[in-house]
Chains A and B, each alone.
Chain A
């Protein structure tokens, strides 16, 4: 009975016609002391049980999303002659990093309904429930958040950056900035035809600190007092060494 149910479910799913087989150049990004950004290559193929439909073009969308955090967006206004933070809107969840790569212009590749359902475009990837009553233009705050993060390379819209060969093979490169936050980076691949998502696939890329970075970070959180004393000891030792070295030099 269970098997029958599963079979029915299997048949009922429209996404079974075309599936993603994914490869990643790396599924783990290690932040070392000399870390200066990283590039990941995301590639794969479309597996089919049926011949390639020749009625429409296959489009591929790749998204990479870093861990989400709440962000407080503040706006300055002129009060009594000086610029002061006046209004603030809290954006409930905004990914620390977000990249969307597509095989064509996003608006053509993806319908608005599907975008809303899967939260693919940058504005949709941000969740903002509501603003305080006195702020009427809360959209400006979300726009500012996107603008600031786009300028720093944390948010990227990469249209036409996914190469698709023979409607089967696809690949793209995503540049991770140097100022990267630790965490699980959700990587999603969508196959779309005529604006509709026909199949999707999800995996994660782990970004974490290793070696000295890991050790120092853990110590600062788990033994803060010891860490603080160590910082002071290093500071004093360095000060003393420099002083001693200079007086040696003079004599």
Chain B
């Protein structure tokens, strides 16, 4: 069934969109990532104009994250206090990111920068997670129940300490604020919710337990992407509500299924799967940069130098 999208001004198959939404929704529920880093390139691929894809994707992430966070709230795996601290950093970061984005746009080559950002960040994060979780699995196989070492690093030395009961942490608020800020900047530049950066940052930098990380990340993503949606809707008029509804109907159902699957998987397995997925997307983007494209020319709207 073909459907004409009023803002994107293209006609696409409605079931294709539902399917894409569902697939990305499952992953989103399993890993606590918004799925934007997967969905946005997929939307480009089926012919949605990039500006519309990025803006609409932000709106769709709000829906799937909201659905996911409710499931996590019910299971009490959301650290609201930590989420709020991250969110404050995130909103400031998003605003800074938009300023930075526009500055880079005036210099030209913003497309390349976005792609390079993807390759570098996905590559580093995916690689680190993969190695780490592989080691963790190996350890548990050996039967050596390694006692989880409580590292007293920088996070414990800094001032403004706060108790995060759900995460079982007593750390300074400065690192989470900085993590939120950094992710906010990157998500504004890369046009995604930032879950795939946030999740590893929470595990490795803040030392939060994996079970809490997913729900807390989703909680923070809702607000950051909601803010982005409003910015896009009021400045660029690129939010396509029909496209968003189709994606989110598939997405919310997928997210619920994904959350259920996530419960049954072990933390290490969850992490290794996410790492593999991140590496696959990274590899695909890197190949696009390295191999000669079949069409050297691209068309763009004028004025967007």
Using CB atoms and an 8 Å cutoff, list the residues of chain A in contact with chain B: 31-37, 69-78, 81-85, 88, 90, 141, 144-145, 147-149, 178-182, 209, 212-213, 216-217, 220-221, 224-225, 227-232, 234-236, 238-244, 246-247
- A213 and B256 contact, CB distance less than 8 A: no
Shortest Cβ gap from B14 to chain A (Å): 9
Find residues 229-254 in chain B having any chain A CB closer than 8 Å to their own CB.
229-230, 232-235, 237, 239, 241-242, 244-245, 248-249, 252-253
Instruction: Name, among A32, A78, A216, the residue most crowded by chain B CB atoms within 10 Å (CB to CB).
Output: A216
Beta-carbon contacts under 8 Å, B64-123 to A: 64-68, 70-71, 74, 109, 111-112
Tell me the bound Cα distance from A81 to B219 in angstroms: 40
Q: Contacts of A83 on B, CB cut-off 8 Å? A: 288-293
Interchain CA distance A88-B10 in the complex, whole Å = 25
Within 8 Å CB of B3, what residues of A? 33-34
By beta carbon, the residue of chain A nearest B226 is A232
The verdict on A225 contacting B230 (CB below 8 Å), with A83-B292, A85-B109, A141-B297 known, is yes
**Chain B, residue nearest A246 (CB):** B256
The verdict on B131 contacting chain A, using a C-beta distance below 8 Å, is no
Q: Does B4 contact A (CB under 8 A)?
A: yes
**Count of CB-CB pairs between chains A and B under 8 Å:** 185
A106 to B305, CA, bound (A): 36
Partner of B297, one of A33, A37, A74: A74
Residue of B nearest to A230 (CB): B241
9 A-B Cβ contacts within 8 A?
A34-B3, A76-B297, A85-B111, A147-B297, A182-B9, A217-B6, A231-B239, A235-B59, A239-B63
Assess whether B296 is in contact with A75, with CB atoms less than 8 Å apart. yes
Q: Is the CB of B237 within 8 A of A76?
A: no
Closest to A91 in B: B302
Give every chain B residue within 8 A of A212 (Cβ-Cβ).
6
* A86 CA to B258 CA, complexed, in Å: 42
Q: Which 5 A-B pairs have the closest CB atoms?
A: A228-B233, A239-B66, A178-B11, A242-B252, A144-B297
Give A68 to B239 CA distance when docked, in angstroms. 24
How distant is the Cα of A225 from the Cα of B234 in the complex, in angstroms? 6
Point out the residues of chain A lying under 8 angstroms from B255, CB to CB. 239, 242
Question: Judging by beta carbons under 8 Å apart, are B62 and A239 in contact?
Answer: yes
Q: Using Cβ atoms and an 8 Å threshold, which residues of chain A touch B256?
A: 242-243, 246
Task: Evaluate whether A179 and B289 lie within 8 angstroms (CB atoms) in the complex, with A75-B296, A231-B233 already known.
Answer: no
The reply to whether A84 and B244 form a contact with Cβ atoms under 8 Å apart is: no
| Cα separation A226 to B35 with both chains bound (whole Å) | 26
Contacts of B65 in A (CB 8 A): 239
**Other-chain residue from A213, A228, A241 in contact with B239 (beta carbon distance below 8 A):** A228
Residues of B within 8 A of A73 (CB): 297-300
Question: Which one, A69, A88, A178, contacts B2 given CB within 8 A?
Answer: A178
- Write the B1-32 contact mask toward A (1 if CB under 8 angstroms, else 0): 11110110111000000000000000000000
Quick check: is B304 within 8 A (CB to CB) of the other chain?
A: yes
Considering the complex, give the chain B residue whose CB is closest to the CB of A85.
Answer: B111
CA A212 to CA B3, docked complex, whole Å:
12
Q: How far is the CB of A39 from chain B (nearest CB, A)?
A: 14
Task: Report if B47 contacts A (CB, 8 A).
Answer: yes
Specify which of B9, B71, B239, B253 lies most central, judged by the most chain A CB atoms within 10 Å of its CB: B9
Distance in angstroms between the alpha carbons of A230 and B111 in the assembled complex: 30
Other-chain residue from B70, B230, B290 in contact with A81 (beta carbon distance below 8 A): B290
Q: In the complex, A73 Cα to B11 Cα: how many Å?
A: 24
- In Å, the complex CA distance between A70 and B303 comes to 9
A235 vs B297: C-alpha distance when bound (angstroms): 37
The answer to the question of B167 belonging to the interface, with a C-beta cut-off of 8 Å to chain A, is no
Which residue of B11, B112, B242, B302 contacts A85 across the interface (Cβ within 8 Å)?
Answer: B112
Question: Hey, which chain A residues are within 8 Å of B290, CB to CB?
Answer: 81-83
Bound complex: CA A33 to CA B62 (Å): 24
Q: Are B297 and A75 in contact (CB under 8 A)?
A: yes
Closest approach, in angstroms, between the C-beta of A98 and any C-beta of chain B? 14
Chain B residue with minimal CB distance to A228? B233
Neighbouring B residues of A236 by C-beta, 8 Å:
62-63, 66
Q: Decide if B144 is an interface residue (CB 8 Å cutoff).
A: no
Residues of A within 8 A of B7 (CB): 216-217, 220
Is B301 on the interface with A (CB-CB < 8 A)? yes
Which of A75, A145, A180, A231 is within 8 Å of B59, CB to CB? A231
Complex contacts, B295 vs chain A, CB 8 Å: 144, 148
- The answer, yes or no, to whether B60 is at the interface (CB within 8 Å) is yes
> Would B67 and A72 count as touching, CB distance under 8 A?
no
List 9 other contacts, CB 8 Å, given A35-B2, A35-B4: A32-B4, A36-B11, A71-B301, A72-B303, A232-B230, A235-B62, A235-B244, A238-B63, A239-B70
A235 touches B233 (CB 8 A): no
Is the pair A71, B300 in contact by a Cβ cutoff of 8 Å? yes
With A235-B62, A240-B66 in contact, is A180–B9 under 8 Å at CB? Answer: yes
Q: Point out the residue from A72, A231, A234 that lies within 8 Å of B299, measured CB to CB.
A: A72
A241 touches B252 (CB 8 A): yes
- Which residues of the other chain, A, contact B253 by a CB distance below 8 angstroms? 242
